[in-house]
Chains A and B, each alone.
Chain A
Amino acid sequence: MSQTGIRERAKSALQDPLLQQAVQFTTDRLRTRKANVTETFGRWQAWRDRGRDIRAHTIAHLDFYLQQFADNVRAAGGHVHFAADAEEAAQAIVDIAKKRRAKLVVKSKSMVSEEIHLNRHLEDEGVQVVETDLGEYIIQLAGETPSHIIIPSIHKTREQIRELFTKAGGENLTTDTKALTGFARRTLRTLFQSADIGVTGCNFGIAESGTVVLFTNEGNADMVANLPRTHVVIMGMERILPSFADLEVFSHLLPKSATGQNVITYMSCFTGPRRDGEADGARELHVVILDNGRSRQLGDADFQDILHCIRCGACLNVCPVYRQIGGHAYGSVYPGPVGAVLTPLLNPGPEYADLPYASSLCGACFEACPVQIPLHDMLVKLRRRHVAQGLAKRGERAAFRGFRLVFARAGRYRAIIRSGRLGQVLVARHGGIDARIGPLRGWTQTRRAPVLAKRSFRESWPGLRQELRQGNRPPAAGTEGAPAHETAVNKE
């Protein structure tokens, strides 16, 4: 939980050049690869349309499909648990661990397990929890939390990773990628085989068959799901697809959007636990379905679509804000544009109310989203909600009342521009404002602010109109009153 606001956290992230370098390097690569793969694949917009339609249909009938999914999980021999909130979900899993007298739990990457703080709950019961996705393993050793949905260790350099692994294993490793992954393979392999329980997330739950679908590149989720006696799946309740036919669509949308891969290395579909006669696979399968604030978005025309999200992280990779500050600055499990929307929706109240302001509303997230969630619109609507709930600062409220007072009447507006011109004489210099004081401080720290023109357009309009009507030869466009950075620049 965060103690400071997004502004302060962003500020400190901005002072970490190593973090920025790592985040920018990786997100650049991911977005370039995505652009290439979708170009080669072709008709990307048609795929996005289909993806959005399927998600919208599913969420609009979620009660039906969730019931069907649960029935089919049970028919295949699995157990289903419904959890209203994080506490209930964590408790359900702790209960399973207790019943199985579990000492060691291995996990594959799951954002929902972070959301319910599962590791802490299990560790409180004396159960050791080991993350097995390479990136998650790295940040677990570092005692941190993920900073990217797909690449949790995006902010770590290989030197930092070498130090962590060397400390953990007592081996002296080089910074060679092969040496580092080799260490992780050896260490984690033995843990897969001795673990009592494997915990995974769920990319998609297929309603028609009760199938849990996982997408991974490393294969760790397969180890986690197949080798321990018990497989526990933790899933957000919105993670449903009606049919395998729909899975075909998302088998393209998800990896192409997430990492620019044409196809995921492993797509694993588990339908119940192992069956009679089978000698591997978990003997027991539990699926924990989590609400935790999700159902509140249903029926809300402004925000229901956030449940369409498939957690690909494409919005992070294109976000000009994320690329500056990385994931931790968002202060919660879900970073980037989707986090700035989802986090305050799942956790209403003042704690995360400032997240929607960490956006220039450029819309790159929407453009990148494989299911076309209008994240940029949602950010505005969250700000509106923030204001409506009276959480905005009083000064800001007054400022916008002032804005309305002036701008809702052209006459007042005209008068105020005139008086503003007088006022700024005091601060303007070199034809621009550099003074780093007052409400514009945020701007003038890094930029020169322009000054009001000597004559506004509306003031010069009558003259201009007359001139053009009389058919005079038009002179060159006036530069009178041009702001500093235009008059001061090179005119050839």
Chain B
Amino acid sequence: MKVALFVTCLVDSLYPQVGEAMVRLLHQLGVDVDFPEQQTCCGQPAFNSGYWDDAREVARTLLDAFDPYDYVVSPSGSCCGMIHHYYPDLFAGDAQSRRRAGALAEKTYEFSQFLVRVLGVSDVGASFPARATYHPSCHGSRLLGVRDEPLELLRHVRGLELVPLAHAADCCGFGGTFAVKMGELSGAMVEDKVRHVEETQAQVLVGTDMGCLMNIGGRMAREGRRVRVMHLAQLLYEGTQAQHRREIVG
């Protein structure tokens, strides 16, 4: 099985530790991923802003990069959602690219989806004694249909107390360029989200999309909140390391 990592531009440039945690965790699970370097970005910023021609040229980097692989796995439900939900429209005018985009969508999985649905793993053997809450990303859950997989993985983490987040399904206000273009509005939305996170008294906020987490975390940092913001892959990987260390010590 040839598996490629679609790291996404956000993780690549801002949060490489998320990509790394994912690669290491998959390695532990016996999956060696490759990183084809032609990839850049799914094109979503341009696509969502209406610049489809620009988006298409960027999106092609993915068609080319992932051609030789059986599976593509990514730490972002939003970027996978883009491939699944919007590439057919984006490449509608070009039958060959449309076909390639369809093939790409078929083999592309969000990280938790890949673990649960493809690998059939819901317990990675992690231990993470903390109180945590989970924010489902809109695109991951609504465009891609990833709803239960992250929760299933989290439920199997030893010592993790998972508390429900009020209004969890409400958008955090990120929305890509929306957060800049409609800054005040987006700011009001993230304020609500942060308040709900606060109310859970969680020590850790977990998510599956760094866009949302950058937004929520950025707001909490500005307010000086002491909640650790983690991608699911980070939590799981760190959890296995802790487990590992304990096993060695014990």
Contact surface of A with B, Cβ cutoff 8 Å: 7, 10-11, 14, 320-321, 324-325, 357-364, 366-367, 376-377, 380, 382-388, 392, 396-397, 400-401, 403-404, 407-410, 413, 417, 420, 432, 434, 439-443, 445-453, 455-461, 464-465, 468, 474, 476-486, 488-492
Residue contact A458 to B45, C-beta cutoff 8 Å? no
Residue of B nearest to A386 (CB): B50
Contacts A403-B58, A407-B40 given; does A358 touch B182 at CB 8 Å: yes
Residue contact A407 to B20, C-beta cutoff 8 Å? no
Residue of B nearest to A452 (CB): B13
Q: How many residues of B contact A (CB 8 A)?
A: 86
Residue contact B50 to A384, C-beta cutoff 8 Å? yes
Residue contact A481 to B142, C-beta cutoff 8 Å? no
Chain A residue contacts of B238, Cβ below 8 A? 476-477
Docked Cα-Cα span, A321 to B178, in Å, equals 11
Chain B residue contacts of A476, Cβ below 8 A? 238, 241
Chain A residue contacts of B57, Cβ below 8 A? 404, 408
Give min CB distance, A34 to chain B, whole Å.
13
Residue from B13, B37, B43, B51 within 8 A of A453 (CB atoms): B13
Chain B residue contacts of A440, Cβ below 8 A? 180
Residue of A nearest to B219 (CB): A447
Docked Cα-Cα span, A311 to B142, in Å, equals 22
Residue contact A446 to B24, C-beta cutoff 8 Å? no
Residue contact A408 to B61, C-beta cutoff 8 Å? yes
Residue contact A403 to B54, C-beta cutoff 8 Å? yes
Contacts A363-B143, A449-B218, A486-B229 given; does A404 touch B189 at CB 8 Å: no
Contacts A385-B50, A458-B7 given; does A447 touch B215 at CB 8 Å: yes
Q: List 11 A-B contacts (CB under 8 A).
A: A360-B171, A362-B175, A407-B40, A408-B60, A413-B9, A413-B41, A446-B187, A450-B14, A477-B238, A489-B227, A490-B227
Chain A residue contacts of B46, Cβ below 8 A? 400, 403-404
Residue from B12, B47, B50 within 8 A of A457 (CB atoms): B12
Chain A residue contacts of B160, Cβ below 8 A? none
Give min CB distance, B177 to chain A, whole Å.
9
**Is B221 on the interface with A (CB-CB < 8 A)?**
yes
Closest 3 CB pairs of A and B: A442-B183, A360-B175, A446-B187
**Is B139 on the interface with A (CB-CB < 8 A)?**
yes
Residue contact A407 to B41, C-beta cutoff 8 Å? yes
